[in-house]
Amino acid sequence: MATAFKPIAITVGDAAGIGPEIIALAYRDAPQQVQGCVVVGDVAVMQRAVDVLARTNPGTVRVTLLPLSGLSDLPSTLPALTLPVLQVGQAFDAAQLPAWGRISAAAGALAADAVVWAAQAALRGELAAMVTAPLHKEALSAAGVPFPGHTEMLQACAAAHVGVSVDDMPVRMMLANRELRTVLVSIHVPLRQAIEAVTVENILQTLRITHAAQLASTGRAPHMGVAGLNPHAGEGGLLGREEIDIIVPALQQARAEGLHVSGPFAPDTIFMRARAKDGQPGEFDVVIAMYHDQGLIPVKYLGVEQGVNVTLGLPLVRTSPDHGTAFDLAGTARADPASLLEALAMARRLAGGGAQA
């Protein structure tokens, strides 16, 4: 490609949600932080978001769109308030855009197209990283997309690129903010299946992926604290034997491999122990949680405006805001771009020298 730098792609997310608006707000209010980025999605969708900002805040400056046909059209620097949009898939007619706050198959298809396009470009080495605006799982399903979310879609793209099966491209979700990091053993599965996914191999795989990712990004091996599955971490077998029969053997094997792990600890206290507070680091660098809500509720409670979702185990850098499509706010220009900007800052740090500052 002709560009002298590797940009960061920001995928548009669900067109009926707040994704386009928080992107437009970021370009309007934080132009230095989005320098070197390109929005991957749809020109008409982004134009509507820009128009919403202008209509609801008539006294503010206005963002101008720069439609692109490819990454080679993107200059290394852009004037402030210029929002470059790379069109993917079938372009929307401005008169037939998905309604705000409504589940739409068309919006689901666009969101998926943008993610796949950006993932493939990143895997080819054309992007430094990708930041994904929120999508809606029901919209993906309505569009016939065979994945429940970003993580699984990116896993499939990476596996196909490398030429391995999805099972041979294990990934994990990490949710992080300035106070706490947590990585999940299982992701988007029903709770009954999540409990079944608590196996020695899955826990060990999570620890290995987390260790490798944190070592690569910080230069030092992380101290990983592991949550139990049951209340009080099983209370010595009185409240369940998963800790004794599964989690402890996994930790013993991890220690034999040289990983720095502790636990299992009671799920209702481990996150307090790991939390960095008042400038002091927590007891653990990262918490390994056994299932989705166990790990994400504590991080989100500390503030979704600071949270960042990072996919570990991929041969590319991907981050995302720690919130959903917020259909109730879509079209009002009241959404907060803070988490998107945190995700972008995290992507730059993880990408290192490949992304323009």
Task: Give 2's pLDDT tier (boundaries 50, 70, 90).
Answer: very low
Residue the block writes with tokens 């206005």: 62
85 within domain boundaries = yes
Provide the residue range defining the domain that includes 225: 178-302
Q: Report pLDDT for 218.
A: 85
Find, among 10, 271, 34, 247, the residue nearest to 129 by Cα. Answer: 10
Q: Residue 220: is it exposed, middle or buried by C-beta count within 10 angstroms (0-12/13-18/19+)?
A: exposed
Same domain, residue pair 143 and 204: no
Lowest mean pLDDT among 7-11, 65-69, 216-220: 216-220
Q: Provide the CATH number for the domain around residue 139.
A: 3.40.718.10
Q: Would you state the torsion angle of the CA atoms of residues 201, 267, 222, 10, taken in this order, to the nearest 10 degrees?
A: 90
> Which tokens sit at 275?
């939390």
Q: How many structural domains is the chain composed of? A: 2
Using the predicted structure, report yes or no on whether residue 99 has a pLDDT greater than 60.
yes
pTM of the model: 0.88
DSSP state of 334: -
309 within domain boundaries = no
Q: Report pLDDT for 304.
A: 66
Q: What average pLDDT does range 66-75 have in this prediction?
A: 90
CB within 8 Å of 179: residues ≥ 6 apart: 275, 276, 277, 282, 302, 306
Using the predicted structure, report yes or no on whether residue 356 has a pLDDT greater than 90.
no
Q: Which of residues 302, 326, 342 is at a domain's end? A: 302
Q: Which of residues 277, 302, 327 is at a domain's end? A: 302
Q: Report pLDDT for 357.
A: 39
Q: What average pLDDT does range 181-201 have in this prediction?
A: 95
Same domain, residue pair 149 and 88: yes
Find, among 52, 47, 113, the residue nearest to 85 by Cα. Answer: 47
308 within domain boundaries = no
Lowest mean pLDDT among 54-68, 146-160, 251-265, 272-286: 54-68
Same domain, residue pair 132 and 246: no
Residue the block writes with tokens 């990408």: 351
Same domain, residue pair 107 and 8: yes
By DSSP bridging, strand 172-176 and strand 308-312 are: antiparallel
Using the predicted structure, report yes or no on whether residue 225 has a pLDDT greater than 70.
yes
Same domain, residue pair 143 and 187: no
Q: Residue 200: is it exposed, middle or buried by C-beta count within 10 angstroms (0-12/13-18/19+)?
A: middle
Tell me the pLDDT tens digit for each residue of 321-344: 988 999 999 999 999 999 999 999
Q: Report pLDDT for 246.
A: 98
Q: What average pLDDT does range 133-158 have in this prediction?
A: 94
